[in-house]
Amino acid sequence: MKLHVYDHCPFCVKARAIFGLKEVPVELVVMLNDDVAPPERMVGRKVAPILEHEDRFTPESMDIVALIDAMGDPRVLAGATNPAVGSWIAEGSGSLYRLAITRWASAPLPEFATADARAFFTRKKEALIGPFEDRLAETAALVEVTNAHLASLEPLLRSPEAVNGDLSEDDIHLFAHLRAMSIVAGVAYPAKVDAYRRRMSERTKVPLHDDIAT
């Protein structure tokens, strides 16, 4: 199996995570961000992630998660979800992406290995969130909001092994959110949140971006 991804992409992290949790081997293929031909050939549009398996191509991160989790027994995402976790993620998404997108755009990531690929991403995302210069100027305020919001995650975290005690789809979504956050320097992770994101990084085999955070 091959998983076609961008390293920064949180949807790709969701798909990658299930392979790690399930201990299913997969070949990771990082596409250049401006290389539209491979995804168009595979699924008819530029999108990531895409799972390539037995000459079939599956886009949609949570479809990939379901497919891999259903392979062999037992399912690993067998636990109940907690709507409060989904709400917490949704509340933080706006500030997270305003912080993370600008940082991904200048990070040493394989999907931006060429100047054209990086320029493609920058152009596209500036059309969405406005000039990066303006977003970067908001850093202190956005980090403050993020840190306050992280404090409200602590009471929801039952264990570093799984947000609700047993692994569930909430862990896929929550880890993808926290992994996206790891590109942002200066975030103050409460102890339980830090233990959770580190443990999930180990179990999913998706490295955090702490070492390249800006």
Ligand X SMILES: N[C@@H](CCC(=O)N[C@@H](CS)C(=O)NCC(=O)O)C(=O)O
Binding residues (CB under 6 A) for ligand X: these are 6, 9, 11, 46-49, 60-62
**Whole-Å CA distances, 122 to 39, 118, 133, 141, 173:** 19, 6, 11, 22, 25
Residue 182 burial (10 A CB sphere; 0-12, 13-18, 19+): buried
Toward ligand X, which CB reaches closer, 47 or 66? 47
Which of 45, 32, 44 has its CA nearest to residue 6? 32
In terms of CB distance, is 120 or 157 closer to ligand X? Answer: 120
| First-to-final CA distance of the chain | 33
Compare residues 48 and 187 and give the one whose CB is closer to ligand X: 48
93 vs 152 by CB, closer to ligand X: 93
Nearest-approach distance from CB 93 to ligand X, in angstroms? 13
CB of 37 to ligand X, least distance (A): 13
At its nearest, how many Å lie between ligand X and the CB of residue 207? 17
Minimum CB distance to ligand X smaller for 47 or for 84: 47
Query: Looking at beta carbons, which residue is closest to ligand X?
Result: 9
Cβ count near 120 (within 10 Å): 18
Residue 10's region, left for phi above 0, alpha for psi from -120 to 50, else beta, is: alpha
Encoded tokens for 33: 């961000």
Shortest distance (Å) from residue 134 CB to ligand X: 22
Residues of the chain by 3-state class (helix, strand, coil), percent to 5: 55, 10, 35
Rounded to the nearest whole angstrom, what is the least distance from the CB of residue 13 to ligand X in the complex?
9
Q: How far is CA 10 from each of CA 54, 165, 205, rounded to the nearest angstrom?
A: 25, 23, 14
